[in-house]
Structure formats: structure tokens, C-alpha cells
Amino acid sequence: MAISTTELKAAIIAALNLQDITPAQIDDDAPLFGAGLGLDSIDALELVVMLEKNYRIVIKDIEEGRPAFQSVRTLAAFIEAKQAS
Amino acid sequence: MASPFITARNTVNNADVAAARLGPRFGRMDLTSQFALLAVESFAAHFDSMPRERIAICLAVRAGSLATDLEYWKGRDAAGGPSPTLFTYTLPSAAIGEIAIRHRLTGPGLCFVSGGDELLAEATDLIERGEADGCVCVFANVVSPGLVEMISTAPATSAHAFFVRRGKPHEASSGSDIETV
């Protein structure tokens, strides 16, 4: 099932309690960490929890999640691939 | 040498915090950090008057981090476990870090689990011993509804902050150099 990037952005905003940021302000291809959205390592852990809560995807090895957390688009593709497997 | 004196002060309540917009990171902080950070915000301009590494932070938290500890404990049954972000705030001194990061203050930090009565004396001591030129003092009183039953006290959400600095005679208010808090 295709994952809506808008829905995913809303889930990220809610999970990280990002104030004054709307899904429309987040570029699908912008880096989530460092420049771009400016998330940090604690946020990465929070996103892992969000994936389990919202999509029932468990990431046990952070190396597995690293490529997925590049951007909203890569994260959406990761979720789709996990749900299809 | 002139005695340290209070040069600014501020109090914040629930409504202030609810309306606060201190950037996207503010929302992820625990309540104690939000109250403490906002209480300091109104006099942040005073920090420009001295080197940031010479500014200390003294924090008093009446209920420690119990409100956050409780929230974290409740989260253990949730899918994925409790919030990792919340975990970073399960320390009474967490708000010191948030204030230091936001205002780039790298002086000493002291944390007390108390009613805040010692803040002025501790700040004065730090300055008079030459460890700092100024000191941000914050008392945060956060007792969440969930905590009320546990510690048998009334709910509370407020913070009071003031800035103490090394005094110059012409800057001090008349009378005593140190105001009564």
C-alpha cells in the first residue's frame, strides 16, 4: 500500500512534537537530520518508536534504519517495502 | 567590590507556556524545561552584557523530575515502549541544559530539589567567589495532576526566574544591593 508522504510528515510532526511546522513545509527529499529538518539522535529513536506504534514496523538494527531515515520519501519507501514483505 | 544584585525577574504560568513559540524544539521538552526556559526568555538580553562562559545557572525544582518520571513510567506499556525523548528529561537538572543550549551559557550549573529559597544565596556565593559574573536563577514548580495523588500535594505549574549579576554601584538600586526575592 502506498504511503502518503503528507500523512507520514504529520506523523513525524506529532511524534516529535514539532511546533509551528506543517507537513507542507517539509520537503519530501530534504534531509531529516542535520540540515533540512534538523533532527538529532534522540529524534531518530523517537522515529523508531513511531514506526512501531503507527506502522508496526520494528527496527532492531539501527543500520537497517539508517538509509530509511534519509528523507520523508525514503522513509515512506521503507515503510511500503516492509509492509509488502 | 559591590555586592551582586538582581537586575531582572519574570514569572510565567500555564497560559504563558501554552502561547509560547520558542522554535520547533520547544514542544518536545518536558513541562519543567518549558516553564524554566520561558521564564528566562524575557531577560535574555541581559546576557549580552558579559561573557557567556561567565554566566551560571541555578535551578530549583520543587518536585524534581517526578512529573516527567511518571509520564515515562506510564509509557512503558505503549507500543514501541516509552518515549526516548521523554527519557532525556527524567533528570531534575534537564532544564539547565535547555537554558544553556538556547542562550549558549557555559558557566557553572547547580540544581536543587527544593522550594527555591537558596537560589539567591547560591548565586551570590558563585559570583562573590569569582566563579561567575552573573547567574540565572529559576524556580520551577511543576506538579502534574498525575503526580498530585502520589505526593499528596496540590497541582502546580509555574516558574519564577531572576538574573543576578556582579554589581556596579551606579547600577544597583537604592538601599541594599541585593533585593529580597
| Residue A47 pLDDT | 93
In a domain, B177, yes or no: no
Look up the domain containing B71 and give its range.
Answer: 5-165
Distance, in angstroms, between B15 CA and closest chain A CA?
16
- According to DSSP, residue A70 is labeled G
If phi > 0 it is left, if psi is from -120 to 50 it is alpha, else beta; for residue B176 that is beta
In a domain, B27, yes or no: yes
CATH number, domain of B43, equals 3.40.47.10
Number of domains in chain A: 1
Residue of A nearest to B76 (CA): A49
User: Pick from B24, B84, B85: which is nearest to A20 by CB?
Assistant: B24
| Residue B168 pLDDT | 62
Look up the domain containing A20 and give its range.
Answer: 5-84
Side chain identity at A44, as an amino acid letter? A
In a domain, B139, yes or no: yes
Question: Number of helices (H) and strands (E), helices first, in chain B?
Answer: 7, 5
Side chain identity at A32, as an amino acid letter? L
Q: Inter-chain contact A19–B23, Cβ cutoff 8 Å?
A: yes
Number of domains in chain B: 1
ipTM of the complex: 0.75
How sure is the predictor about A41, in pLDDT bands with cuts at 50, 70 and 90? confident
Residue B180 clears pLDDT 70, i.e. is over it: no
Burial, A41: exposed, middle or buried (Cβ in 10 Å; 0-12, 13-18, 19+)? exposed
In a domain, B48, yes or no: yes
How sure is the predictor about B176, in pLDDT bands with cuts at 50, 70 and 90? very low
In a domain, B133, yes or no: yes
In a domain, B91, yes or no: yes
In a domain, B148, yes or no: yes
Distance, in angstroms, between B120 CA and closest chain A CA?
34
CATH number, domain of A16, equals 1.10.1200.10
Contact by Cβ (8 Å): B132, B7: no
Q: Inter-chain contact B80–A53, Cβ cutoff 8 Å?
A: yes
The Cα B89–Cα B69 span in angstroms is 8
How sure is the predictor about B177, in pLDDT bands with cuts at 50, 70 and 90? very low
Distance, in angstroms, between B92 CA and closest chain A CA?
19
Residue-wise pLDDT for B105-142, tens only, equals: 999 999 999 999 999 999 999 999 999 999 999 999 99
How sure is the predictor about B174, in pLDDT bands with cuts at 50, 70 and 90? very low
Residue-wise pLDDT for B48-99, tens only, equals: 999 999 999 999 999 999 999 999 999 988 877 899 999 999 999 999 999 9
Mean pLDDT of A39-64: 89
The Cα B58–Cα A1 span in angstroms is 53
Reduce the DSSP state of residue B156 to 3 states and report it.
Answer: strand
The Cα B141–Cα B155 span in angstroms is 9
Q: Inter-chain contact A17–B27, Cβ cutoff 8 Å?
A: yes
